[in-house]
Chains A and B, each alone.
Chain A
Amino acid sequence: MNTPYSEKVMDHFMNPRNVGEIEDPDGIGTVGNPSCGDIMQMYIKVKDDVIVDAKFKTFGCGAAIATSSMATELIKGKKIDEALEITNEQVTQELGGLPKVKRHCSVLAEQALQSALDDYYKKKGVPSPIKLKSEEEMEHDEAHDE
């Protein structure tokens, strides 16, 4: 069937990596809302400053599920400060691009990741270096990038 997505996006959509929840996680981030059509929930497990496991649950379109899958893949095995550097552009690139109208899904994946890392710092009792942005701000940034 013809889809608006690349083969890689379809692969991550049809065979998503890391679906599920982590019991007793070190960080959880939930972003989005059902009226936009996407909600992403990301779980991380951290050991010695390294993300040893990441899982997600997503309500959303093909792009939302694929970007969740790719984002969890990208952070697994990474140090926290490396994971902090991951951007939505990077997730999109790794997926071989997304249709323009679906870019906001990758923004959501970045937000979910940041939100999970922020939660990790909070749980640890360490001041979080993350300034969480609203989706509007992220979309705004993106509009300026183009």
Chain B
Amino acid sequence: MSTEQETAVSTDQRSSGLFSSVTRWMENLSETQYAYLLLLPVFVILGSIALWPLLKTFEFSLFSDSLVGTSRVGEFVGLKNYVDLWTGQKDAILPGTTTFISFSAPFQSAVIVTLIFTVVSVFFETLIGFAQALILDQDFRGRRWVRVAIIIPWAVPIVIQGMIFFLMFRSGVGFATAPLQDLGLLAPTQPLNDSASALLIIIVADVWKTSAFMALLILAGLQSIDRGLYDVARVAGASKWQQFKLITFPLILPTIAVAMLFRTVAAMRVYGIIDTVSKCEVVPSLSCMVVATFQTRYGTSGAIAFSTAFIIGIFVSVIIYQRAKEGI
């Protein structure tokens, strides 16, 4: 019996060669071995394109900049780049009059600009997204088309989003500049070259594009609420406002918190919209500063990049902790 099987195996191997022996080898792996085998491509690509660069960036950040010669970095300086960066001694290297962190000119400071952008845009995206989600949660004719209209800004390429707002607010073309200047909201000349005005315009652009994402997440939360609760409330004589306050809002709050965390992490990477609408010298975000310095100063740029990753990492660990608590 066993010899018979062996002969069968050997003829099989001879006839179809490598492929069948690989298949046979895979059939005999344990579930754990098989799982790790199939995950191998993921390990390779995430390891080489994400994990390795992250470690390497940290390594770069521990060396001084190399301004002459062909080597990427100079001598080992430990955490000096970080100390210099956070105490303002690297500000001269940064483009224009921008600083890394400085409270005297907040709209020129990379850390503060990034935080203002994140907090303000996530706040308004949540408000607007919530309102949009409440609308999409209703049943009405043409709901499908309203949903398409609300999603479309999310799908617009960043460079086109930037172009739209550039054309809206560019002095001499844009219709939006003059009335807002009269109200004192934008700088009197060339608002796209004024730090505070340009930041405001960029926040508006981001809110326009990403509220839809917020709306979709919140809508999913709304639709998972047990409709029976509303029937009970109606029978008990609760008004629409009471139903919202006592059922919808408390039940949707965890979803909103998760969605806000997601958006916070994404908003802190802001780069493309700044590059298109304005300039990195005018609205310095953290990613902007990395791009502006990276080709000549690997040490400094590495320190900025890793600081950015660290700040975002704090929020990421909150998300990861929550997921781990829920069991993935």
Chains A and B come from one and the same complex? no
